[in-house]
Amino acid sequence: METDFSADCGKCFALCCTALSFERDRQFGHDKAAGQPCHHLGNDFRCTIHARREELGYDGCEEFDCLGAGQRASAIFAAENWRRDPAIARRLYASFSLLLRLQEMRRALVTAAELDIGEALHNERLALLEELSAHADSRREDIADAASRSLKACREYLRRLRSAIAA
C-alpha cells in the first residue's frame, strides 16, 4: 500500500492559509481567524511574502505540514464555488480538518511498522491503515461518520500498542 504524505500546494486552495487560525506570536506576524484568508495570500492561492516569510515573522507557515490533506480536500471541492458561498466553505474546511486527522493517523500507523509488535498487532495495523487510506483517498465528502469510527478504532489500537510496547 503506497502512502504519500507530501503536500502538493499547487493542487490546494491554500487551506492552511484560509481554514486554520493563528495568533500573533514569534511564529506568526498577525492574528488570523479560522475561515479568513491570511492577508498575505494572493488571489491565486499563493503566498505573497513566501520568500520573506522568515524575516517577517512567519516561521509557523514553514513548520506546518498538512501531509497532503489540503490537496485531497481541494480535489473534493474543485467544482464548488466555496469562495462565494460560506456554507460550501464551511464544508470544505470541515473536510480539510477531517482529512488532516486521517493523514496524521495514517502517518502514525506507517511509523509503527518499524516496531517489533508481533504478527497480530501488525496485521491489525495494516487493516486499520487500509481503512484510513480508503477514506482519505476516496475524494468523497460524505466520509465523516465512517472516518470518525475508523479514527476511534485507531486510537484504541494505539493505546493497546503502547501497552504492548511497555510490557
The per-residue pLDDT for range 62-75, each reduced to its tens digit, is: 889 999 999 999 99
Judged against a pLDDT cut of 80, whether residue 3 lies above it is answered with: no
CA geometry: angle 21, 96, 12, nearest 5 deg: 90
pLDDT tier at 2, thresholds 50, 70, 90: low
Q: Mean pLDDT throughout 23-42? A: 91
**What pLDDT is stored for residue 128 in this prediction?**
98
Task: Using CB atoms within 10 Å of the CB of residue 131, give its burial: 0 to 12 exposed, 13 to 18 middle, 19+ buried.
Answer: buried
Grid coordinates representing 81 are 464555488
Least confident of 16-25, 50-59, 137-146: 50-59
Name which of 110, 25, 97 is nearest 66 in CA terms.
Answer: 97
pTM: 0.92
